[in-house]
Amino acid sequence: MSTDISRDAGTAPVTPPSPAARSRRTPAKAAGAVLVLLICASLPLWAFPDDYSVGILMQIAIYAGYGLSWHLLAGYTGQYAFGHAAFFGAGAYVMAIFSYHTGLSPWLGLGLAAIGAAVVGLLVGLIALRVSGLFFGLITFGTALMLGVAANQLVGLTGGAAGLSLPLHLGDAGMMQFDTQVPLYEITLVIVAGYLLLTWALLRSRLGLLFRSVRDDPVAADASGVNIRGVRLGALCLSAAMAGLIGAIYAQSLLFIDPESAFGLTQSVNAIFTAIIGGMGSLFGPVLGAAVFVLLREVGMTISDGDGVYSVLFYSTVVFVFIMVAPKGLVGIGRRLFGLVRRDAGKRE
Amino acid sequence: MNLLLETLLNGLLIGGVYGIFSVGFALQFGTLRIINFTHGDFVMLAMFLGFFAVSQYGWNPFAVIPVAMVLFGLVGAVFFTTVFNRLKEEPHEIQLIATITLSAIITAGTQGLFGQDARSLDTITEIFQLGGVHLGVWKVIGLGISLLLAGGLWLLLTRSGIGRDIRASVDDAVAARLQGINTRRAYLVAFSLGALLAGAAGATLITFYPVTPSVGANLLVLAFAAVLVGGAGSLPGAFLGGLILAVVQQVTATYQSPALQNAYVFLLFLFILVVKPAGLFGRLARVD
Contact A320 B102 (CB under 8 A): yes
Exposed, middle or buried, B162 (CB in 10 Å: 0-12/13-18/19+)? middle
Q: How high is the pLDDT of residue B286?
A: 38
Amino acid identity of residue A274, one-letter, is: T
Residues recorded for chain B: 288
Q: Which range, A22-31, A202-211, B44-53, is most confident?
A: B44-53
Phi, psi values for residue B234, rounded to 5°: -125, 115
DSSP string, A4-55: HHHHHS-----PPPPHHHHHHHHHHHHHHHHHHHHHHHHHHHHT--SHHHHH
Q: How high is the pLDDT of residue A21?
A: 52
Of A131, A149, A320, the CB nearest to B98: A320
pLDDT at A91 exceeding the cut of 50 = yes
pLDDT at A14 exceeding the cut of 60 = no
Q: How high is the pLDDT of residue B283?
A: 57
Specify the higher pLDDT residue, B136 or A73.
A73
Phi, psi values for residue B136, rounded to 5°: -75, 135
Give per-residue pLDDT as tens, A21-31.
555 567 777 77
Q: How high is the pLDDT of residue B24?
A: 93
Q: How high is the pLDDT of residue B131?
A: 67
Q: Would an 8 Å CB–CB cutoff place B86 in contact with chain A?
A: yes
Q: Can you tell me the mean pLDDT for B225-230?
A: 85
Chain B CB contacts of A80 under 8 Å are 92-93, 96
Give per-residue pLDDT as tens, A100-132.
888 888 888 899 999 999 999 999 988 887 765
Contact B101 A9 (CB under 8 A): no
Q: Which range, A125-139, A217-231, B30-44, is most confident?
A: B30-44
Specify the higher pLDDT residue, A79 or A340.
A79
Q: Which of B242, B211, B238, B176 is nearest to B29 (CA)?
A: B238
Q: How high is the pLDDT of residue B191?
A: 94
At B280 the three-state DSSP class reads coil
Q: How high is the pLDDT of residue A132?
A: 59
Give percent above pLDDT 90 in chain B: 30
Q: Would an 8 Å CB–CB cutoff place A309 in contact with chain B?
A: yes
Of A139, A149, A316, the CB nearest to B108: A316
Q: How far apart are CA A283 and CA A275, in angstroms?
A: 10
Specify the higher pLDDT residue, B17 or A335.
B17
Nearest residue in A to B229, CA atom: A135
Q: Would an 8 Å CB–CB cutoff place B93 in contact with chain A?
A: yes
Give per-residue pLDDT as tens, B75-128.
999 999 999 988 888 877 788 888 888 998 999 899 989 988 888 887 556 677
Q: What is the 3-state secondary structure (H, E, C) of B235-258?
A: HHHHHHHHHHHHHHHHHHHHHCCH
What band does A10 get if pLDDT is binned at 50, 70 and 90?
very low
Q: Which of B184, B170, B171, B196 is nearest to B23 (CA)?
A: B196
Q: Which of A146, A142, A140, A109 is nearest to A250 (CA)?
A: A109
Q: What is the ipTM of this complex?
A: 0.81
Ordered structural domains, chain A, with CATH: 2-6+48-348 (1.10.3470)
Q: How far apart are CA A71 and CA A51, in angstroms?
A: 30
Average pLDDT, chain A: 81
